């Protein structure tokens, strides 16, 4: 039986992870992609860093929840709606049952007893930094999921975070206030008295918690990562995350109601432990939804094995020449220059691998990013002044500035002689070829041969 089971698993694995055939029906390609996504998400949950980053967010949340709510409290107090903080906390902590009411009451007491006026400049700066650190941690986690190595500039992060902390609560409570006002209009009440409309409104009201959470998750996936996230993938991730969060809240409420032994074992710490477990589940679901959005936008990361895709030396050379040929061809033709997302789509290579090559080309000043949003890549000089040998040497030497260099790694004379012969072979074969010639050859190869009969 074991050989039969092993053969069956091997066959299933080859079916799922074999390269997609463009001749397959659309439904079959989409089904395979969905199966791959489920398998990769399960692998990331079991062996990835999602759980570790969710734990880190729990720790940061415990440190920053009071300062964060204190800033929101000060803003809402100026608009006379500060008494709405406790109801919002109660909604979030509803799965904890009576323990949630106790936690919400204690947090509000901390906020009300906090006197910002006696903190001083240093204390106020520390308060703001503690509140902002949570949002910074969220951005770092989402950037990790989206394979973004660079965070935003400090000024941009600071302005974005403060806008969320100051303007976000006002917009949320304004939306809730407008909704409540509309529902109290006599005309609306008369319309809801109609059976069909009343039943529809009741159904919508039951779905409203799901819709609000899905909207919040989608907003986070669009706004926080330091990359351009398309609305469709963000909505898919928000829907998966929102439904999972609401369902987890329902299941966790049942768990809390039937876990009296926790109070007997942990006594007064039971509330804190349950609160931390719920925080962990909430952050894990948020990160899981971000992973769904990422794989929906970047299916090229759906690999059978985990870890970052690494390029071999010959793949770096191949990718660098493809990138520079595309850049030079667009430049010479006067067309729009490619962006990182367009490179990913045209070359079918994950962003992380592209970053390695593009960073090397930028460090040697062969390409430069424009100031557009998103930035595009342009040659730093005329393609006829950049040789193919320069491009190859650039990607071969990438990383030597930070790590070992050939001068710091002694080799036997015979090895040096072989390497010198290889360098001379490259120089003699493509040393005189420029990027202009490479791009022109690519355009000529793409043109149809007029001597060949046209196929229909």
In this predicted model, what pLDDT tens digit does every residue of 197-208 receive, in sequence order?
555 655 566 677
CA–CA gap between residue 456 and residue 453 (Å, rounded) = 10
Which of the 8 DSSP states describes residue 365?
T
Q: Is pLDDT at 415 greater than 60 in this prediction?
A: yes
pLDDT at 195 over 90: no
Closest alpha carbon to 141 in 234, 240, 54: 54
CA dist., res. 253 & res. 175, Å (int): 28
Give mean pLDDT, residues 227-246.
91
- In the chain the first and final C-alpha atoms are separated, in Å, by 52
Q: Please tell me the distance from the alpha carbon of residue 70 to that of residue 82, in angstroms, as a whole number.
A: 10
Please, what is the Cα angle at 229 between 364 and 293, to 5 degrees?
115
The pLDDT tens digits of the residues spanning 368-409 come to 988 887 788 999 988 888 888 888 888 888 777 666 677 777
Selecting from 3.40.50.10490, 1.10.10.10, 3.40.50.300, 3.65.10.10, what CATH number does the domain 313-446 have? Answer: 1.10.10.10
| DSSP tag of 368 | E
Cα atoms in the 13 Å half-sphere on the side-chain side of 346: 14
Least confident of 75-79, 256-260, 379-383: 75-79
Beta-bridged to residue 387, according to DSSP, are 434
pLDDT at res. 260: 65
Ramachandran area for residue 335 (φ above 0: left; ψ -120 to 50: alpha; else beta):
beta
> 126-135, 137-146, 158-167, 304-313 — which one is most confidently predicted on average?
137-146
Mean pLDDT taken over the chain: 76
How far apart (Å, rounded) are the C-alpha atoms in residues 146 and 139? Answer: 10
Where exactly does CATH 1.10.10.10 map onto the chain? 313-446
Distance (Å, rounded) from C-alpha 452 to C-alpha 449?
A: 6
pLDDT, tens digit, 9 for 90 and up, residues 289-316: 999 999 998 887 777 665 566 778 888 8
Contact between 198 and 174 (Cβ < 8 Å): no
**Closest to 103 (Cα-Cα) out of 220, 277, 265, 254:** 277
């Amino acid at each position: 039986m074991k050989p039969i089971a092993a053969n069956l698993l091997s066959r299933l694995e080859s079916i799922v992870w074999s390269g997609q055939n463009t001749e397959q029906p659309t439904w079959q390609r989409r089904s395979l992609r969905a199966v791959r996504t489920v398998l990769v998400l399960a692998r990331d949950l079991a062996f990835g860093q999602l759980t570790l980053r969710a734990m880190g967010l729990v720790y940061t949340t415990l440190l920053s929840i009071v300062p964060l709510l204190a800033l929101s409290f000060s803003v809402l107090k100026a608009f006379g709606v500060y008494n709405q903080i406790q109801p919002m906390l109660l909604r979030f902590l509803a799965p904890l049952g009576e323990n949630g009411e106790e936690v919400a009451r204690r947090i509000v007491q901390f906020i009300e007893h906090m006197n910002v006026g006696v903190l001083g400049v240093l204390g106020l700066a520390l308060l703001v930094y503690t509140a902002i650190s949570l949002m910074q941690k969220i951005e770092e986690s989402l950037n990790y999921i989206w394979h973004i190595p660079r965070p935003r500039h400090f000024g941009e992060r600071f302005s974005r975070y403060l806008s969320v902390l100051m303007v976000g609560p006002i917009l949320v409570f304004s939306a809730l206030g407008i909704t409540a006002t509309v529902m109290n209009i006599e005309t609306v009440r008369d319309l809801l008295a109609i059976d069909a409309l009343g039943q529809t409104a009741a159904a919508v009201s039951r779905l409203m918690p799901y819709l609000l959470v899905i909207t919040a998750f989608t907003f986070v996936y669009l706004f926080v990562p330091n990359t351009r996230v398309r609305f469709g993938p963000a909505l898919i991730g928000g829907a998966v995350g929102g439904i999972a969060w609401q369902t987890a809240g329902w299941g966790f409420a049942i768990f809390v109601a039937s876990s009296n032994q926790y109070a007997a074992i942990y006594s007064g710490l039971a509330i804190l432990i349950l609160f931390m477990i719920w925080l962990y589940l909430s952050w894990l679901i948020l990160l899981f939804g971000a992973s769904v959005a990422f794989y929906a936008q970047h299916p090229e990361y759906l690999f059978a094995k985990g870890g970052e895709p690494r390029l071999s030396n010959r793949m770096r050379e191949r990718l660098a020449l493809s990138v520079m040929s595309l850049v030079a061809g667009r430049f010479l033709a006067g067309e729009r220059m490619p962006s990182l997302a367009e490179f990913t789509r045209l070359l079918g290579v994950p962003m992380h691998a592209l970053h390695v090559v593009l960073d090397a080309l930028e460090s040697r000043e062969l390409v430069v990013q424009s100031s557009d949003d998103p930035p595009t890549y342009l040659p730093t000089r005329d393609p006829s002044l950049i040789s193919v040998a320069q491009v190859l040497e650039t990607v071969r030497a990438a990383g030597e500035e930070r790590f070992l260099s050939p001068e710091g790694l002694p080799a036997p004379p015979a090895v040096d002689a072989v390497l010198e012969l290889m360098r001379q072979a490259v120089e003699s074969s493509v040393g005189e070829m420029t990027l202009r010639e490479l791009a022109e050859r690519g355009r000529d190869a793409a043109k149809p041969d007029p001597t060949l009969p046209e196929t229909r």
